[in-house]
Structure 1
Amino acid sequence: MRFIFVLLSLFFSVQSCFSDQLTNILPTFEAYVQKSLSEWQAPGVSIAIVKDGQIIYEKGFGVREVDQPEPVDAYTVMPIASLSKNFLVTLIAQLVDEGVLDWDAPVKKYLPDFRLSDPDITNQFTVRDLLSHRSGLKGFSADSVWNLGYNATEIRDFLAQLPFEKGFRHDYAYQNHLFGIASDLVEKVTGQSIASLFQARLFNPLALTYSNVGPIEQPKKGLWGAIKGWFQKKPKLNVALPHHVIGTKTTATATSPQMYTFMGSTGVNTCAHDLGLWMIFQLNDGQINGKALVSKAQITQMRTSHVQATNLRPDDMQFPAVRMSQIHYGMGWFLGNYGGEGTEKVPFLSHMGGFGGVRSLMTLVPNQKLGIVIISNFGSMRVSMLPEALRNKFLDLYLNLGEKDWSKENLQKMQEIRTKNKQYKNDYRLQNPRPHHDLKVYVGQYKNPLYGSFEIQQDKQGLTLVYKDRRVSLTHWNGDEFEFKGNDLTPIYSEYDQGYIEFGVQGQKALLSAINLMFEGKSEIFERVKEGA
């Protein structure tokens, strides 16, 4: 009996030690958040931390919209982009528990029209394959047309034509739209929308009061918006606007409709408080108040490695090698170990999201019953690694791994990448300066088997690229190459996504062209099919 008492005393002593440690590090962490927010020029961030089944910390920093006074708090709603995938896989796990779905059944059993470019792989492709980033397709397949505003049907058709570039069930390559097809599959077998399923099966049982799926209602701006809201007796919305960098200025933008093309992949809107409750549920292995919403067996399936991410760069900012090792993907979770050199590494689960001016990151340390989530109304994965910097700083403080300024390092790395890319282009131009041909040489219509047609027009200002309903001004770069702002082609792109179009000219006639932001498929070439007037 005394032995049991000693063990219990030791257990509670260890728990108390970690609780005290969290209390001690939070002021340092808060100061770091404030400093980092300023360094990244990010308008706002909201954070929740859970430990031992409780939300021990939740707080917002900054504002919902740049140059506006409304603060971000723990209940400020933002889109969480790909962090939605964690919700989708959890929902599918419920359906597997109920016998409605089978992880290892062919997708075609549920979606007979499902198609990829290889018929054999199509027939073998299972529900598990949709959710584990091991398809054999190139990473982020069909994202280029998603960014361009293609609808769900167009994206599926585009995806079905892309060649396989990696080993099926062998190589890791992140995908968005296979999760979109998993959303289609769920809706087909249940006869219900993803939005209603998430609400009834996940949000309501877990009291995720501020969570929803689908286009998010934006706050009405200005005096007229305030008057209209008052007459409609509506409470003021606690919703943060996404932000991009335009020029050197952080600028608010509307939530992209592309965010909701596939609801289960990127369509959840929520707040730090609700994500704190979600982390507690996940750390409790799918249980809430003693009741299992998902069986332990299916939770284990989600957290079992399906593919190792072996192609990570040594300087990767998502999974820095100095702290992280053995990065794998399960289903709806990245898996890995976190720790310093010469220290014992702790296993973690994580997933991130980023698209169209928002970022999110959730990380759990199951053996510590610890979790942290960070959501921000700034950037995309190509603009902001602020959530990763804050998560790493928190874990470093918690695990006593010493001082490291992750924000400074990530900012420096991102700037170095941009500078290096620009310098490469500048150096080439300096070494090979060439004038352009007469502008009328480029005028005409060009066509690609996957992307369709665009037109080059000329006016007094120069050349304009016309693609679908977009008109994009071109500026001469060098020779037969012109540049344009990526966010003139689609608002999904940031100031840092520079576009280039290069023409292949023979004699006094452009025969083909290539655009760096339209790069997928067997050929990037657009062939000229019609001359200009």
Structure 2
Amino acid sequence: MPIALKPRLLLAAALGLGCTLAHAATPGAETAALDKIVDATVARYRLPGIAVGVIENGQVVYTRTVGETVAGSGRKITPQTLFKIASNSKAMTTALLGRLVDAGKLRWDDPVTKYLPQFRMHDPWVTANMRVADLLTHSSGLPEGGGDLMLWPEPNAFTRADIIHGLAFIKPGYGFRSRYQYDNLLYVVAGEVAVAAGGASYETLMRREVFEPLHLDRCQVGAWKRDAVGNVAQPHRRDNGRNVAIGEDAAEIPAITSAPAGGIRCDLEDMLGWARNWLVPTPAQLTWLSPAQRQVLQAPHMLIPVSEQRRAWDNTHVMAYGYGWRMADVDGEWNVWHTGTLNGMYSMLSLLPDRRSGFVFMINGEAGDARTVLGEVLTKHFTAPGDSRGVDWYADALEQRAKQRSPASSTPDTAAQQPVSAAGLARWRGRYRDPWFGDITLCPRDGKMYFAAAKSPTLTGTVMRLGDRYLVHWNDSADLDAWLDFHAAAGGQPIALRMAKLDPQGDFSSDYEDLDFQRVGGCR
């Protein structure tokens, strides 16, 4: 039997959620149906590679791998291929914290400053009242994706100490505990709380307290050697109709600051083992993490607004965030899940606890819509087996929604942009500083003006002019290009620079809007 999650069961009772089982099917017929779903997704979105696994009533009933670790390499993806699981790492971080709670080394209601005396938020009252639990529910007051430029794009030179220091300078976007706004920085802080309570590095604790007892033998965190581990998928982007590998790993893979929020890699076999630990825990696994802490992690703690799409597709009434997990009612059943997104890598882990069923998949390509569609169709495989809407129906629906977006929300046409000459931007040249992001320079090179971030080396680009506005076009980064808005302050104050995404609907982790640069010196 699945573990009883009291808050979940109370909410389910209030909603009248059912737990009707899917129609029975022969193994061969079910495999063929799942193959059809995967094949249709790969074909529709021309994915470079994917690994998929399905669990029914606690047993793995289906696995499928398609494509290559690097497009055109001939190296096939297998169930042992490592993928970046991105924000699916958050549930592993909260499980680590749950282990520390079970051990009496930590309490969810402890103030963060008990473990990290240097911790500061923008508001001193919030600093004093921020609990360990508040780090995990995306309700701290940080704007959506606030400070993510200290994590991505990688590589960069920001440390976890830099992040803890920088939080004090990020202005809140809403009231503390008043609403849900997704952030990543506080999961990095949560990892440092684990370090203080557990007496070892985050990477050591994750290996010792999570990977080893659960036999997640190929999951990787921290520094490791690519060729010694082997079979590692690389991210891709679409370029002129082709899948092109980007940001490929070097032989020595370094530890990364973002690990507690989104820096773990795992293969399909380990992710299925991780999922089964939640659906059908063994007696040893219930000793590893107590039923009480399992209830806490997957209970609703912060409500999330339900989108029109979820209401229409899934008849969802309530959506919430736990500790590292999202949850909602879907077609009258309770669903606990999370997704992961990094440049060129997408993943999803989804559980239907009342069925002891679920699925996981990982993709090494541009796959935002593909993940939405595949996740929906695999969910319907359980919750609405008679649903005739397949991959193409949901894909068409997404495309139609995209076409209906307001023109104001789309990226402006940049075909007419031109590089700005050094002389044309001479008034604004110099070194600028933001209190959490640090220094950038706007200085001439080869007759043009270049933007360069001191701690984020891929954020280097040419300053362009488009109409009467300036923007920076990044040379190598996959991050979104950004507007540059200069302001001459009155009273002899330093010149200010603000930034914004060209596409207002772009990824929130490109949080240029939270930057507030002041000129602090000239070009050297």
Q: TM-score range by the shorter chain?
A: 0.7 to 0.9
In the alignment, structure 1 residue 328 sits paired with structure 2 residue 316: no
CA offset at residue 471 of structure 1? 3.6
Query: C-alpha separation between the residues in 1 aligned to 2:424 and 2:131?
Result: 51
How do residues 35-54 of structure 1 correspond to structure 2 at under 5 angstroms?
Answer: 35-54=40-59
Asked if 2 retains the 8 angstrom alpha-carbon contact of 1:140 and 1:176, the reply is: yes
Q: Aligned letter for 1:273?
A: E
In structure 2, do the counterparts of structure 1 residues 365 and 513 end up closer, same or farther at CA, with 3 Å as the change threshold? same
Instruction: Tell me which of 456, 461, 469 is aligned to 1:480.
Output: 469
Instruction: Name the counterpart of 1:498.
Output: 481
Asked if 1 retains the 8 angstrom alpha-carbon contact of 2:345 and 2:363, the reply is: yes
Asked if 2 retains the 8 angstrom alpha-carbon contact of 1:436 and 1:479, the reply is: no
Where in structure 2 are there 5+ consecutive unaligned residues? 1-18, 502-509
Asked if 2 retains the 8 angstrom alpha-carbon contact of 1:437 and 1:480, the reply is: no
In structure 2, do the counterparts of structure 1 residues 464 and 90 end up closer, same or farther at CA, with 3 Å as the change threshold? same
CA offset at residue 124 of structure 1? 1.2
Q: Aligned letter for 1:151?
A: T
Query: C-alpha separation between the residues in 2 aligned to 1:532 and 1:263?
Result: 35
Instruction: Name the counterpart of 1:307.
Output: 302
In the alignment, structure 1 residue 526 sits paired with structure 2 residue 517: yes
CA offset at residue 397 of structure 1? 2.9
Instruction: Name the counterpart of 2:246.
Output: 253
Q: Is the partner of 1:463 in helix, strand or coil?
A: strand
Instruction: Name the counterpart of 1:80.
Output: 85
How do residues 206-225 of structure 1 correspond to structure 2 at under 5 angstroms?
Answer: 206-215=214-223, 217-219=225-227
Instruction: Name the counterpart of 1:365.
Output: 352
CA offset at residue 30 of structure 1? 1.8
In the alignment, structure 1 residue 439 sits paired with structure 2 residue 424: yes
Which structure has the higher relative contact order (CA within 8 Å, separation 6+)? 2
Query: C-alpha separation between the residues in 1 aligned to 2:495 and 2:211?
Result: 55
Residues 294-335 of structure 1: CA deviation (Å, up to 9, x unaligned): 11111111122111012x5434xxx56521331100111101
Instruction: Tell me which of 180, 204, 208 is aligned to 1:200.
Output: 208
Q: Is the partner of 1:29 in helix, strand or coil?
A: helix
In the alignment, structure 1 residue 278 sits paired with structure 2 residue 274: yes
CA offset at residue 120 of structure 1? 1.5
Instruction: Name the counterpart of 1:34.
Output: 39
Instruction: Tell me which of 403, 416, 422 is aligned to 2:389.
Output: 403
Q: Aligned letter for 1:122?
A: T
Where in structure 1 are there 5+ consecutive unaligned residues? 1-13, 220-233, 340-344
Query: C-alpha separation between the residues in 2 aligned to 1:213 and 1:136?
Result: 29
Percent of aligned pairs sharing the same letter: 20
In structure 2, do the counterparts of structure 1 residues 119 and 363 end up closer, same or farther at CA, with 3 Å as the change threshold? same
Query: C-alpha separation between the residues in 1 aligned to 2:27 and 2:308?
Result: 30
Asked if 2 retains the 8 angstrom alpha-carbon contact of 1:180 and 1:262, the reply is: yes
Asked if 1 retains the 8 angstrom alpha-carbon contact of 2:486 and 2:498, the reply is: yes
In structure 2, do the counterparts of structure 1 residues 275 and 43 end up closer, same or farther at CA, with 3 Å as the change threshold? same
CA offset at residue 16 of structure 1? 9.2
TM-score, length-scaled by structure 2: 0.81
How do residues 52-201 of structure 1 correspond to structure 2 at under 5 angstroms?
Answer: 52-148=57-153, 149=156, 150-201=158-209
Asked if 1 retains the 8 angstrom alpha-carbon contact of 2:434 and 2:515, the reply is: no
Instruction: Tell me which of 496, 499, 508 is aligned to 1:515.
Output: 499
Q: Aligned letter for 1:447?
A: Y
Instruction: Name the counterpart of 2:378.
Output: 394
CA offset at residue 442 of structure 1? 4.7
In structure 2, do the counterparts of structure 1 residues 408 and 62 end up closer, same or farther at CA, with 3 Å as the change threshold? farther
Instruction: Name the counterpart of 2:453.
Output: 467
Asked if 2 retains the 8 angstrom alpha-carbon contact of 1:77 and 1:239, the reply is: yes
Query: C-alpha separation between the residues in 1 aligned to 2:466 and 2:357?
Result: 51
Asked if 2 retains the 8 angstrom alpha-carbon contact of 1:337 and 1:348, the reply is: yes
RMSD between aligned alpha carbons? Answer: 3.4
Q: Aligned letter for 1:490?
A: S
Asked if 2 retains the 8 angstrom alpha-carbon contact of 1:206 and 1:288, the reply is: no
Residues 464-510 of structure 1: CA deviation (Å, up to 9, x unaligned): 2233255412332111323414xx3634x2xxx2322234579xxx9
TM-score, length-scaled by structure 1: 0.80
Instruction: Tell me which of 289, 292, 296 is aligned to 2:287.
Output: 292
In structure 2, do the counterparts of structure 1 residues 205 and 35 end up closer, same or farther at CA, with 3 Å as the change threshold? same
Query: C-alpha separation between the residues in 2 aligned to 1:443 and 1:532?
Result: 10
Q: Aligned letter for 1:444?
A: R
Asked if 2 retains the 8 angstrom alpha-carbon contact of 1:442 and 1:456, the reply is: no
Query: C-alpha separation between the residues in 2 aligned to 1:479 and 1:278?
Result: 53
State how many pairs are aligned.
Answer: 478
Q: Is the partner of 1:68 in helix, strand or coil?
A: coil
In structure 2, do the counterparts of structure 1 residues 163 and 205 end up closer, same or farther at CA, with 3 Å as the change threshold? same
Asked if 1 retains the 8 angstrom alpha-carbon contact of 2:221 and 2:255, the reply is: no
Instruction: Name the counterpart of 2:265.
Output: 269
Query: C-alpha separation between the residues in 2 aligned to 1:59 and 1:138?
Result: 38
